[in-house]
Amino acid sequence: MSTIHPGTRVGHVHLKVADLDRAIAFYSGILGFGLTQRYGPQAAFLSAGGYHHHIGLNTWESAGGTPPPPGHTGLYHTAFLFPDRKALAQVFKQLVEARWPIDGAADHGVSEAIYLTDPDGNGIELYVDRPEADWPRDASGTLTMVNKRFDLAALLADAE
């Protein structure tokens, strides 16, 4: 069996959306990604920190479309890793201020995560990793991820 190089990373996600302006308003206006390039009414690229793009949005095959119905295959969610808890808290505060609904939140032991859905029904995970030395392990050293309650009120307090 071959093994992928450990330095490999997911570079970007490209999403089909129904309304480009609505998607940009969410990803840029609420989550805070910067618009790096726009191709008229059909496509846009957004990023964190000036990278060429982390998110591509397009309406090439989906203008005016609807999300796939439950029970169909597709993307479960895109996960955005924040550099620290304060950065996650700040974007959570932006979601609260925008009154954007949250689908769930969890403390996984290795990370703390918030789950939501974008305007096109695409799942999103916003998360921060704990230091690897703090990850829960059993007596044999095997990673033991958990699914505990994540205190969002305490996270919101960290946004200040």
Instruction: For residue 33, give the CATH number of its domain.
Output: 3.10.180.10
Backbone angles phi, psi at 149, to 5 degrees: -65, 135
Would you say residue 32 lies in a domain? yes
pLDDT above 90 covers what percent of the chain?
A: 87
Kindly state the tokens that stand for 150.
Answer: 């994540």
pLDDT score at 74:
87
Would you say residue 3 lies in a domain? no
**Range of 102's domain?**
75-160
Would you say residue 107 lies in a domain? yes
144: which residues sit within 8 A by CB, 6+ positions away?
Answer: 109, 136, 137, 138
- Per-residue pLDDT band for 30 (boundaries 50, 70, 90) equals very high
Would you say residue 97 lies in a domain? yes
Would you say residue 27 lies in a domain? yes
Q: Hey, is 146 helix, strand or coil?
A: coil
Q: Are residues 51 and 81 in the same domain?
A: no
> Averaged over 48-77, what is the pLDDT?
93
Would you say residue 93 lies in a domain? yes
pLDDT in tens, 109-125: 999 999 999 999 999 99
Q: Tell me the sheet residues that pair with 111.
A: 129
Q: Are residues 86 and 111 in the same domain?
A: yes
Q: Are residues 96 and 26 in the same domain?
A: no
Domain count, the chain: 2
Kindly state the tokens that stand for 109.
Answer: 């032991």
- Tell whether the model's pLDDT for residue 9 goes beyond 90: no
Q: Are residues 49 and 95 in the same domain?
A: no
pLDDT in tens, 95-151: 999 999 999 999 999 999 999 999 999 999 999 999 999 999 999 999 999 999 999
Q: Are residues 88 and 50 in the same domain?
A: no
Mean pLDDT over each residue of the chain, to the nearest integer:
95
Kindly state the tokens that stand for 158.
Answer: 């960290």
> Averaged over 11-34, what is the pLDDT?
96
Would you say residue 103 lies in a domain? yes
Give 3-state DSSP helix, strand, coil % of the chain, rounded to 5: 20, 30, 50
Q: Among 149, 52, 58, 39, which residue's Cα sits nearest to residue 105?
A: 149
Q: Are residues 82 and 150 in the same domain?
A: yes
- Per-residue pLDDT band for 1 (boundaries 50, 70, 90) equals confident
Stated pTM of the model: 0.92
- Tell whether the model's pLDDT for residue 11 goes beyond 90: no
pLDDT score at 10:
83
Identify whether the C-beta of residue 42 lies closer than 8 Å to the C-beta of residue 17: no
